[in-house]
């Protein structure tokens, strides 16, 4: 599965070379605010002595997805990246501008719909360009950390590219509670990396602008599982094993009416066909709609916002 010869050499990013056995923080200036304040992308490089894969661990591609940023911050703070083999490139916050503005986007543009990017394009496009040019050319595969959108909480899950044997293997090694193949999105980071035969697995956990301790914990465990599998770090004495549920189909349930939304199940819960998942009531209590599960399956995301419009996605169910 991973039989190819991995590189065992210095890594160069923006003209700065990181030798074998060396750790370094590199900051790439991407833009300046009107005040002149520099916007920089921080990149940590942990280059081991022995031969092994070069892996990208990335968070904050969407600036409001704070769980991933906190996940990587914790791993850095606890010195989890004592890399013996191969190289780990860590980007704890890619979309700095979006983070500062509590926003998924940059100037109204989604970085994850801007690949491969352009040196002279929009800020989102330039961020994408820097990522592809300076980092992706160095890596064998990557882990991209995300959350659900605003108000929608994803239960910890790992996604891989369909028909990618390496991607599926990496997802299984990561060992999240749920995993499934997810189609490539045009101009996304994962699709652009796929064009270069670089598998990217996407970890989703929690929701935007809200820390989720469980999702962060499972994400840290998953990253350590991958590093340990490739013998990049020492084996842990205690290792949490998760029963993986592979999902083959997924469907969003949408609200049939607008109103107040009350949930009756927990995220990650197994449900049966016809089971009551929640209720939608009109604001004045004159009518109530019961939301039922259309089939047996598992809840992998819930809309946590209590005021719902007709047609809005409220439950994501996998089979």
215-243 residue pLDDT tens = 999 999 999 999 999 999 999 887 778 89
248-318 has which fold? OB fold (Dihydrolipoamide Acetyltransferase, E2P) (2.40.50)
Q: How far apart are CA 288 and CA 280, in angstroms?
A: 6
Q: What is the model's pTM?
A: 0.96
| Per-domain boundaries in the chain | 11-229, 248-318
- pLDDT for residue 209 is more than 90: yes
- pLDDT for residue 283 is more than 90: no
- pLDDT for residue 2 is more than 80: no
CA distances to 21, 104, 157, 191, 211 from 162, in Å: 36, 26, 15, 11, 30
- pLDDT for residue 311 is more than 70: yes
Each residue's pLDDT tens digit, 81-117: 999 999 999 999 999 999 999 999 998 999 999 999 9
Same topology between domain 11-229 and domain 248-318: no
CATH number of 11-229: 3.40.630.10
* Mean pLDDT across 313-317: 98
pLDDT at 23: 97
pLDDT at 242: 86
* Mean pLDDT across 61-87: 97
Residue 255: is the preceding peptide bond cis (ω within 30°)?
no
């Amino acid at each position: 599965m991973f039989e190819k010869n991995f590189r065992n050499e210095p890594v160069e990013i923006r003209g700065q070379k990181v030798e074998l056995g060396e750790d370094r923080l590199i900051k790439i200036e991407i833009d300046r605010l009107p005040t002149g304040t520099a916007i920089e992308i921080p990149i940590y490089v942990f280059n081991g002595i022995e031969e092994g894969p070069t892996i990208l661990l990335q968070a904050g591609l969407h600036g409001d997805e704070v769980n991933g940023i906190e996940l990587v911050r914790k791993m850095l703070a606890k010195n989890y990246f004592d890399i013996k083999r191969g190289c780990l490139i860590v980007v704890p916050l890619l979309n700095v501008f979006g983070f500062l503005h509590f926003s998924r986007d940059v100037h109204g543009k989604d970085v994850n719909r801007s690949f491969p990017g352009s040196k002279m394009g929009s800020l989102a496009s330039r961020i994408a360009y820097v990522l592809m040019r300076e980092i992706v050319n160095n890596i064998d595969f990557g882990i991209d950390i995300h959350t659900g959108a605003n108000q929608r909480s994803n239960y910890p899950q790992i996604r891989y590219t369909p028909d990618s044997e390496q991607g599926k293997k990496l997802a299984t090694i990561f060992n999240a509670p749920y995993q499934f193949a997810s189609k490539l999105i045009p101009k996304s980071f994962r699709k652009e990396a796929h064009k270069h035969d670089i598998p990217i697995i996407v970890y989703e956990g929690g929701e935007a602008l809200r820390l989720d301790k469980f999702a962060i914990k499972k994400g840290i465990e998953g990253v350590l599982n991958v590093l340990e599998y490739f013998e990049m770090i020492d084996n842990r004495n205690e290792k949490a094993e998760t029963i993986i549920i592979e999902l083959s189909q997924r469907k969003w349930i949408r609200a049939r009416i607008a109103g107040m939304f009350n949930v009756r199940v927990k995220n990650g819960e197994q449900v049966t066909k016809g089971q009551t998942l929640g209720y939608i009531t009109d604001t004045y209590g004159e009518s109530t709609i019961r939301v039922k599960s259309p089939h047996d399956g598992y809840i992998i995301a819930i809309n946590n916002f209590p005021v719902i419009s007709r047609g809005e996605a409220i439950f994501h169910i996998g089979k």
